Amino acid sequence: MFTHSPAFSGYSVDDIAGARDFYSDTLGLEVSEANGMLTLHLAGGGRVLLYPKEGHEPASFTVLNLPVDDIDAAVDGLAAAGVTFERYEGMPHDEKGIARPPKPEYGPPIAWFKDPAGNILSVLQTGAHEAAGGGSPADQVKADQVNLQLSMYPLRQPHLRPAIEAALKAAAGEGVEITVGRLSTFVRGDEPAVFAALRAAFRAAGSSGSTVMVATLANGAPSDETVAGIQDAAGAAGRD
């Protein structure tokens, strides 16, 4: 029904002027204003609507993820602009506030912070994007497949591995292809299977305790050869 709908998401803020300054000046996003509301214009054509709400209560989950090629540079720049990073119990934060998972399959480095209204945002490193570089004929989209890039962050759990392994096993049980990468896990299959795998993985990970899961969905992905090249490049970088 909504296959071709230019959908957008939105969340509330308590001060439109303050939000405009933060998202435009601090984060450097393209921001437009109309009818007392803001629209964030994201790379790739995505949009997010920010609207004022009386009695606003900040979201308790991440409302906007900002992928970058160099998370250290991004965090340093945000810190210099006065941004304070959140630290969550059970997460392996470094001195900058970046959560760096102990193993690549646990997900990419990520750091959380809040906008002036208290909504949670994140900046996370997309090593696969950096390694892939520009497009090539080998990166043609497979239109009959849905592709999922998945990262998991178990919270306040004494051991991370059980939740991660349970999630991967549950996802694999839905008949999808799974590739465990250096920074994320890639899931590929038809649409019902991929969404079933996402649901199964989230439920399995959550059965061990609180879990943050970051999922990116697309109707196309690099070819098997390109994914292999990304894995090789990432492995070589890790050995340097």
Q: Residue 12 pLDDT > 90, yes or no? A: yes
What's the chain look like in SS3? Answer: CCCCCCCCEEEEECCHHHHHHHHHHHCCCEEEEECCEEEEECCCCCEEEEEECCCCCCCCCEEEEEEECCHHHHHHHHHHCCCCECCCCCCCECCCCCECCCCHHHCCCEEEEECCCCCEEEEEECHHHHHHCCCCHHHCCCCCCEEEEEEEEECCCCCCHHHHHHHHHHHHCCCCEEEECCCCEEEEECHHHHHHHHHHHHHHHHCCCCEEEEEEEECCCCCHHHHHHHHHHHHHHHHC
Which of 41-45, 54-58, 103-107 has the weakest average pLDDT? 103-107
- The model's confidence at residue 72, banded by pLDDT at 50, 70 and 90, is very high
Q: Which residue has the tokens 């760096």?
A: 100
What average pLDDT does the chain have? Answer: 80
Which residues 6+ apart lie within 8 Å of 188 measured at CB? 145, 146, 147, 148, 176, 177, 178, 179, 194, 221
Q: pTM to 2 decimals?
A: 0.55
Write out pLDDT tens, residues 38-47. Answer: 999 998 788 9
Residue, of 133 and 4, whose pLDDT is higher: 4
What is the rounded average pLDDT of the residues 6-12?
Answer: 91
